[in-house]
Chains A and B, each alone.
Chain A
């Protein structure tokens, strides 16, 4: 199966797509790793964002999308841009979108850290990878 992890942080979406299973998977579409909405996006900006996201899902044959669960309170609470980007993805994605809590990722890490063999080195893409890994079976 093909699973896409999307880390939403402000108006930026970091994407990592994995193909295979938890035991054996590869990174696909490595060039399609970042989408960004400008501040105060226009309708045209959102349309292009959606087209790019949908095209990526279609080209890579994505079966499931995992996004980071947005905190609703406290210091790490998501801002309006995250809220907007999340809404766009939820409303337009052709494949099922699941929100994954950071605690779930930590729990998976404790059990399956050894299987995370192609985790990108950068922090944000690393989290997007963790999200994609959650979608794999």
Chain B
């Protein structure tokens, strides 16, 4: 949809006035404290994004400085940064062609191998931040970008330096869902393992575990009843306080992620690794997490959900498609790269557990 330039906020028009070579194609105003414009840069001959954001007058505008200091293939780069006024700044970054990971997860199905790759890329990028003694504090799909097959860490508004003395940074008040247990309570803090916890939550979503942004989804039956009573009273503050407290309890108990929703084909070793990443005994550093992931990734079967069917891609030169027909699971196979599937009668028939067990036994699918 073309941009209506007349209706753009005045700050956005001012920014565009400074970049005559930039031809905006899309205007995004869904951000919490600013806007994003994407479009073509005529001189650079590439798609770029302009992030315009607001900050306190006396606040140190650190976001572009932090990004520029880190050079890593999984951390968003910055082309240019300027201040528009005391409280408004903007910077230019490359544009990610698949948008943010949250949109990507909503619109596309992600294979297990690709999910594994994205998670290792996220941890690799986080290592670069941690090397500079920075914690991101707001790792979530909305703040991660996908460009081709590369994941980029973005949105550095919450980044803080970890104290050399204490090894911790103040806790962020962003996104309650992604807040680690140590960031809740009377003396909240963030350390490097807090980022690995958030990366673990992203990993859970990559493999198909549900993490709903609607916080009421996490409430149990009795909690929903109490919420209904609070809603009847109509005190919005009490309602959100109660919902937050219920979610916080789940975070502290380690019951935020519904592991039963993880698809059957996700390797158990990967699930175990992610369970540990979001547990109390979590990985202390990104490299520890990466080492474990590296082990789980060897010979990982590459499954992907395709509508009603599940496809195992390129397993020893063959693709296997599992679909339900008349209550039974039917397995169809083809040589990788060919178009037509043929039914495999040996593997077909029975329920999903029986068929998957046959696949494991006969094909060695882990």
B157: Cβ under 8 A from any A Cβ = no
Contact call B285/A44, Cβ cutoff below 8 A: no
B298: Cβ under 8 A from any A Cβ = yes
> Across the interface, which residues of B come within 8 angstroms of A51, CB to CB?
120-121, 123-124, 290, 294
Contact call B290/A52, Cβ cutoff below 8 A: yes
Partner of A48, one of B284, B287, B297: B297
> Across the interface, which residues of A come within 8 angstroms of B19, CB to CB?
none
Contact call A31/B131, Cβ cutoff below 8 A: no
B333: Cβ under 8 A from any A Cβ = no
Contact call A48/B286, Cβ cutoff below 8 A: no
Complex-state Cα separation, A79 to B291, whole angstroms: 24
Contact call A32/B288, Cβ cutoff below 8 A: yes
> Across the interface, which residues of A come within 8 angstroms of B297, CB to CB?
44-45, 48
> Across the interface, which residues of B come within 8 angstroms of A29, CB to CB?
287-288
B10: Cβ under 8 A from any A Cβ = no
Give the shortest distance, in Å, between A88 (CB) and chain B (any CB). Answer: 13
Contact call B293/A58, Cβ cutoff below 8 A: no
B345: Cβ under 8 A from any A Cβ = no
Complex-state Cα separation, A34 to B287, whole angstroms: 12
Complex-state Cα separation, A14 to B287, whole angstroms: 15
Complex-state Cα separation, A100 to B241, whole angstroms: 61
Give the shortest distance, in Å, between B299 (CB) and chain A (any CB). Answer: 5
Number of interface residues of A (CB under 8 A): 21
Contact call A44/B294, Cβ cutoff below 8 A: no
Contact call A56/B291, Cβ cutoff below 8 A: yes
Contact call B127/A58, Cβ cutoff below 8 A: yes
Partner of B287, one of A44, A47, A60: A60
A83: Cβ under 8 A from any B Cβ = no
Give the shortest distance, in Å, between A51 (CB) and chain B (any CB). Answer: 4
A119: Cβ under 8 A from any B Cβ = no
> Across the interface, which residues of B come within 8 angstroms of A55, CB to CB?
123-124, 127, 286-287, 290
Contact call B127/A54, Cβ cutoff below 8 A: yes
Contact call A49/B299, Cβ cutoff below 8 A: no
Give the shortest distance, in Å, between B289 (CB) and chain A (any CB). Answer: 9
Q: A48-B116, A48-B297 are in contact. Are A59 and B291 (CB under 8 A)?
A: no
Q: A47-B117, A51-B120, A51-B121 are in contact. Are A58 and B131 (CB under 8 A)?
A: yes
Q: A39: nearest residue on chain B (CB-CB)?
A: B299
A36: Cβ under 8 A from any B Cβ = yes
A20: Cβ under 8 A from any B Cβ = no
A35: Cβ under 8 A from any B Cβ = yes
> Across the interface, which residues of A come within 8 angstroms of B275, CB to CB?
none
Q: Interface residues, chain B, CB within 8 Å of chain A?
A: 113, 116-117, 120-121, 123-124, 127-128, 130-131, 284-288, 290-291, 293-295, 297-299
5 A–B contacts, CB within 8 A, in A order: A32-B288, A38-B299, A48-B294, A51-B294, A56-B287
